[in-house]
């Protein structure tokens, strides 16, 4: 095992926020609450660059590396308890030179193009309930908000627009208009063809990125959305369907992005835990506490029901032939087309809390499943035969190892234990090294 050099000493108020892989699987980066950003070469553990991204009275809320590995995007929030989106800052850095490309202020949310060409964001509205008057603070009535003296507070329409900046130059590339409410969430489809703007009011706008035109405006329901609901809104991996389910809801909906047409409405007698589209884009799979259901998207009909209760995690293999589920210490492999169980994988002594199927398998004729458990092991399984290919100990369960911030992309896993020690694993070759932060 190789060990990275000690780069800094952590104190109570200066701990690493995150250690993650870039989408291309080339780098590991760490952001500090104080704004220090560090990158390593994942293959060797060599430290590449440190960027001083500190901004007074602001903290790094999250950090991302562009899919091309050429840019770092740091998202800052105000350091005050009552800071709003208008206090937010987004900075774009060039990885090769370490130079700042652009600083964008006032964004309430921002997303990176999956192809690494641009960053899209929207600003927070200036809606507020109180203004300062000579007599102190007073609430502004709804009918008075259109008065000229209040236009600087309530007349802002920037929150209804999505702006796109070029990552290489930092220049504003395009402004998407036509949304009728504040944009509270931005989703970019995996093919980078469409951007979806979502509001708490349930209004969705779908734009074509290339032309900048508004494809369609959708309304989810008459009910107001909540921030947690946005976590359950996604685009399938092929970039064809928009999938939505509300938290603690028994229904879900699927639209076609190209046309904005509604295709499938999923209803269950229990709350839905997950909804996904398999790689061939013919079927949708829904998971509830008691069943797994397979739906035909084009015919809007239920095809098959698998009776399996209290599943923790569900995956679909890249070929679309198999459904993989985990329940406590056990993994099961199901045939997508018959609903029959093919293999039961047993070998962990404690709960499984992470599973992954790499796109590229080290086996010639079968995909593999990678599972990580609270017993302190990472197992690699043959998906077709169910045989255990490799088991690696990444931490001692007796030492108090518990689930930590973990990222799994490609063949690599990044994990951090309770002592803030970060380990980088190539699970297919069983090679690893430690970053002592």
> Taking the chain, what is the end-to-end CA distance rounded to the nearest angstrom?
17
Report how far Cα 291 is from the mean position of its chain's Cα atoms.
26
The pLDDT value recorded for residue 176 is: 94
How many residues appear in the chain?
Answer: 437
Question: Cα–Cα distance between 306 and 241 in angstroms, integer?
Answer: 24
Q: Which residues of 55-71 are buried (b: 16+ CB within 10 A; e: fewer)?
A: beebbbeebbbbbbbbb
What is the rounded (10 degree) CA torsion for 37, 42, 46, 47? 0
pLDDT digits (tens, 9 = 90+) for 304-353: 999 999 999 999 999 999 999 999 999 999 999 999 999 999 999 999 98
Segment among 1-15, 150-164, 270-284 with least mean pLDDT = 1-15
- In the predicted structure, residue 73 carries a pLDDT above the cut 80: yes
pLDDT of residue 434: 67
Q: What is the 3-state secondary structure (H, E, C) of the chain?
A: CEECCCCCCCECCECEEEEEECCCCCEEEEEECCCEEEEEECCCCCEEEEEECCCCCEEEEEEEECCCCCEEEEEEEECCCCCCHHHCEEEEEECCCCCEEEEEECEEEEEECCCCCEEEEEECCCCCCEEEECCEEEECCHHHCCCHHHHHHHCCCHHHCEEEEECCCCCEEEEECCCCCCCCEEEECCCCCEEEEECCCCEEEEEECCCCCEEEEEECCCCCCCHHHHHHEEECCCCCEEEEECCCCCEEEEEECCCCCEEEEEECCCCCCEEEECCCCCEEEEECCCEEEEEECCCCEEEEEEECCCCCEEEECCCCCEEEEEECCEEEEEECCCCCEEEEEECCCCCEEEEECCCCCCCCCCCEEEEEECCCEEEEEECCCCCEEEEEECCCHHHCCCCCCEEEECCEEEEECCCCEEEEEECCCCEEEEEEC
Q: How far are the Cα atoms of 126, 323, 327, 331, 334 from residue 343, in angstroms, in the given order? A: 56, 11, 14, 8, 7
Give the model confidence (pLDDT) of 404-426 as tens digits: 445 556 666 666 655 656 667 77
Provide the pairing of β-strand 377-382 with 388-393: antiparallel
21 has which bridge partners?
A: 28
Query: What pTM does this model have?
Result: 0.78
What tokens appear for 260 in the block?
Answer: 């904005």
- According to DSSP, the residues that pair with 257 across neighbouring strands are none
Place of tokens 């209004």: 203
CA–CA gap between residue 211 and residue 194 (Å, rounded): 10
- With the C-alpha atoms ordered 201, 204, 209, 213, is the resulting torsion angle positive or negative? negative
Residue 3 buriedness (CB in 10 A; 0-12 / 13-18 / 19+): exposed
Residue 271 tokens, joined? 């709350």
Residues 6+ away with beta carbon under 8 Å from 338 = none
- Condensed to tens digits (0 to 9), the pLDDT of residues 179-235 reads 888 888 899 999 999 999 988 888 899 999 999 999 999 988 655 666 666 767 899
Angle value at C-alpha 73, between 72 and 76, nearest 5 degrees: 135
In this prediction, residues 62-72 reach a mean pLDDT of 84
Least confident of 2-16, 39-53, 93-107: 2-16
Q: How far is CA 308 from CA 289, 332, 333, 355, 396, in A?
A: 8, 10, 12, 18, 32
A 10 A CB-CB count for 219 gives 11
- Round to whole Å and give the CA distance between 274 and 41: 35
Of the candidates 225, 244, 223, which has an alpha carbon nearest to the alpha carbon of residue 233? Answer: 244
How many whole angstroms separate alpha carbon 69 and alpha carbon 26?
8
Least confident of 48-52, 53-57, 263-267, 421-425: 421-425
pLDDT range class, residue 132, cuts 50, 70, 90: very low
Query: What is the Cα–Cα distance from 224 to 221, expressed in whole angstroms?
Result: 8
């Amino acid at each position: 095992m190789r060990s990275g050099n000690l780069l800094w000493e952590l104190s109570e108020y200066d701990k690493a926020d995150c250690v993650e892989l870039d989408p291309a699987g080339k780098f590991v980066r760490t952001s500090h609450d104080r704004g220090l950003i560090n990158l390593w070469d994942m293959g060797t553990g060599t430290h590449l660059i440190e960027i001083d991204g500190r901004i007074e009275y602001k903290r790094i809320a999250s950090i991302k590396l562009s899919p091309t590995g050429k840019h770092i995007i740091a998202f800052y929030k105000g350091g005050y308890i009552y800071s709003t989106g208008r206090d937010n800052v987004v900075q774009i850095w060039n990885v090769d030179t370490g130079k700042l490309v652009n600083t964008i202020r006032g964004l309430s949310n921002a997303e990176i193009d999956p192809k690494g060409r641009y960053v899209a964001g929207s600003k927070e509205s200036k809606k507020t309930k109180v203004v300062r008057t000579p007599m102190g603070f007073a609430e502004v009535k709804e009918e008075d908000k259109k008065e000229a003296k209040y236009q600087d507070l309530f007349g802002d329409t920037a929150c209804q627009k999505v702006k796109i900046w070029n990552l290489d130059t930092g220049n504003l590339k395009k402004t998407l208009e036509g949304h009728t409410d504040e944009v509270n969430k931005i989703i970019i489809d995996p093919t980078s063809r469409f951007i979806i703007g979502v509001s708490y009011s349930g209004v969705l706008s779908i734009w074509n990125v290339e032309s900048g035109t508004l494809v369609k405006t959708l309304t989810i329901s008459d009910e107001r959305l909540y921030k947690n609901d946005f976590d359950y809104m996604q685009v399938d991996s092929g970039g064809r369907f928009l999938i939505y389910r509300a938290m603690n809801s028994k229904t879900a909906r699927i639209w076609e992005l190209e046309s904005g047409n509604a295709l499938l409405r999923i209803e269950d007698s229990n709350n839905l835990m997950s909804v996904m589209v398999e790689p061939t884009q013919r079927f949708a799979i829904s998971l509830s506490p008691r069943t797994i259901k397979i739906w035909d998207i084009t015919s809007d009909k239920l095809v098959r029901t698998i009776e399996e209760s209290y599943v923790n995690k569900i995956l679909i293999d890249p070929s679309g032939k198999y459904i993989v589920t985990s329940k406590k210490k056990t993994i099961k492999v199901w045939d997508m087309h018959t609903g029959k169980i093919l293999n039961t994988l047993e070998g962990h002594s404690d709960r499984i809390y992470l599973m992954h199927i790499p796109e590229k398998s080290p086996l010639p004729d079968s995909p593999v499943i990678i599972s990580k458990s609270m017993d302190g092991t990472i197992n690699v399984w043959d998906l077709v035969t169910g045989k255990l290919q490799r088991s690696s100990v990444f931490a001692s369960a007796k030492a108090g190892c518990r689930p930590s911030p973990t990222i799994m992309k490609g063949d690599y896993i990044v994990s951090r234990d309770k002592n803030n020690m970060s380990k980088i694993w190539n699970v297919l070759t069983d090679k690893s090294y430690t970053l002592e932060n």
